[in-house]
Amino acid sequence: MPEKLDVIVLGLGGMGSAAACQLAARGHRVLGLEQFTSPHDRGSSHGQTRVIRQAYFESPTYVPLLFRAYELWRDLEHATKQKFLNLCGGLMMGAPGSAVVEGSTRSAVQHGLPHELLDAKEIQRRFPPIHPPAGTVGLFERNAGFILPEASVKAHLDRARQLGARLQFEENVLGWEAVGDGVRVRTARGEYEAQRLVITAGAWTGEVLSDLRLPLEVERAVLYWFEPTEGIGPFLPGRFPIFIAEDKDGLLPYGIPAVDGPAGGVKVSFYHAPNPVTADSPVAIQRAVTNEEAKVMREHIARLLPSLGGRLVRSVTCMYTNTPDKHFIIDLHPAHPQVSIAAGFSGHGYKFCSVVGEILADLAESGRTRHDLSPFRLARF
């Protein structure tokens, strides 16, 4: 007889670690299953830092979720006596009327978020490494910054374990089925039964839910750390913000302050790369980074930050899991309401892990949540 549990969480990356933690905190018997060890660098939650911000150009509907996400990140910091959030400020730049500046401003105004509008001269005065093209405008948000993904996944997992969750690593889920109003999950090591299943399988979601034929696409995303030619000082948190810059071609290069001292470099990337490589499955994603793509990134970023045209310190490959409209999927399974799904975070999900964990715990408990999930329903596809 398989052991009977309350909830199984399939996939213990960013979202799954938070869900396991929330469910364990509510007293449920939780089993978390993860195919790799943790932390690992084969999913979507690695690479040292993630941007966190509230003036959300993608849509103002995310802002209430962000308010709660910030509270829950702070609760986790408090509970674990660790620090993962660094609110060093954020600068959203582009031409007047660009999607990044206009969208961020709309969110800020609609939700009363503290912000300042800066012109190109003021941007360069405050942040000397940035050389914005003439006519650039920027929205500066003091409550933006970055979060540490590996450390916060670990904290969610440690906390979940402390609260009684059983977490099993290097245990690949091979399949699952609905059994009455519960579920049965099969791995190479055994079978488990539970009342509820939470699917947080990241880039593997299309495979885990192959019956649903979800419109998910896996996109290769590369992070680069460049050594500043004029020293790391002006790039340290407190002196340098996170930034996203929309250029004249609609590309969005972004960067995060230096967190690893003089030898660590400054992290930059594209929020959706030029000519992105996409696939149906993570297996098809090439991990090695070529000199040619590093050159494209260096040349691009050096137009805005000339001192980042230096040596490449390191690079790492990661994966976005995109939906067609780049908005998330957070919903119950259409045929099996005992199964909830969180996927398709389209390159901007990490900052939400804490609140998505809360939502998934709500859905597993009652099928409902006080958070507005209407933009994230599966039925929109």
Helix-strand-coil split of the chain, %, nearest 5: 30, 30, 40
Helices and strands counted in the chain (H then E): 8, 20
Footprint on residues 249-268 left by ligand FAD (CB under 6 A): none
275: left (phi over 0), alpha (psi -120 to 50) or beta: left
What is the CA 166 to chain-centroid distance, rounded? 24
Residue nearer to ligand FAD on the CB measure, 115 or 327:
327
Footprint (CB under 6 A) of ligand FAD, residues 265-284: 269
Smallest separation (angstroms) from ligand FAD to the CB of 120: 24
Of 16, 90, 94, 145, the one binding ligand FAD (CB under 6 A) is: 16
Choose, by CB under 6 A, the member of 5, 24, 30, 33 that binds ligand FAD. 33
Beta bridge partners of 194: 5, 183
What ranges in the chain are assigned the alpha helix state H?
14-25, 63-80, 99-110, 120-126, 149-162, 205-208, 291-304, 353-366
Could you say which of 28, 156, 267, 348 contacts ligand FAD (CB under 6 A)? 348
The reply to whether 327 sits near ligand FAD by the rule CB under 6 A is: no
Candidates 26, 29, 36, 117: give the one binding ligand FAD (CB under 6 A).
Answer: 36
| Neighbouring-strand partners of residue 343 | 329
**Binding to ligand FAD in span 214-243, by CB under 6 A:** 221, 223
Instruction: Round to whole Å and give the CA distance between 381 and 366.
Output: 24
- Cβ atoms of 40 and 343 closer than 8 Å: no
Judged by CB under 6 A, the number of residues near ligand FAD is 36
Beta bridge partners of 117: 139
Scan for tokens 């593997």, then name that residue: 204
Which stretches within 112-265 are classed as H helix? 120-126, 149-162, 205-208
Show the tokens assigned to 241: 């913000």
In the structure encoding, which two tokens stand for residue 220, read together?
Answer: 């290769």
- Residue 320 contacts ligand FAD per CB under 6 A: yes
By the rule CB under 6 A, 173 interacts with ligand FAD: yes
Q: Is 345 in the site for ligand FAD (CB under 6 A)?
A: yes
CB within 8 A of 169, min separation 6: which ones?
12, 34, 36, 37, 38
Give me the least distance between CB of 5 and ligand FAD, in Å please.
16
**Given 60, 90, 103, 202, the residue binding ligand FAD (CB under 6 A):** 202
Say whether residue 127 binds ligand FAD (CB under 6 A): no
| Closer of 195 and 354 to ligand FAD (Cβ) | 354
Residue number, 133 or 326, with CB nearest to ligand FAD = 326
As measured in angstroms, the least distance from the Cβ of 12 to ligand FAD is 6
**Taking CA 54 as the corner, what is the angle to CA 255 and CA 266, rounded to the nearest 5 degrees?**
15
Question: Given the complex with ligand FAD, which of 184 and 230 has the nearer CB atom?
Answer: 184
Distance, in Å, from the CA atom of 204 to the CA atom of 287, rounded to the nearest integer, reads 16
172 in contact with ligand FAD (CB under 6 A): yes
Task: Report if residue 50 touches ligand FAD, rule: CB under 6 A.
Answer: yes
Binder among 54, 86, 98, 200 for ligand FAD (CB under 6 A)? 200
Choice between 133 and 146, CB closer to ligand FAD? 146
Which among 251, 218, 223 has a CA at the least distance from the CA of 319? 218
Q: CB of residue 284 vs ligand FAD: minimum separation in angstroms?
A: 15
* Interface with ligand FAD, residue 14, by CB under 6 A: yes
CB 351 to ligand FAD: min, Å: 4
Q: Are 251 and 297 in contact (CB under 8 A)?
A: no
Residues that bind ligand FAD (CB under 6 A): 10-16, 33-36, 43-45, 47, 50-51, 172-173, 200-202, 204, 208, 221, 223, 269, 318-320, 345, 347-351
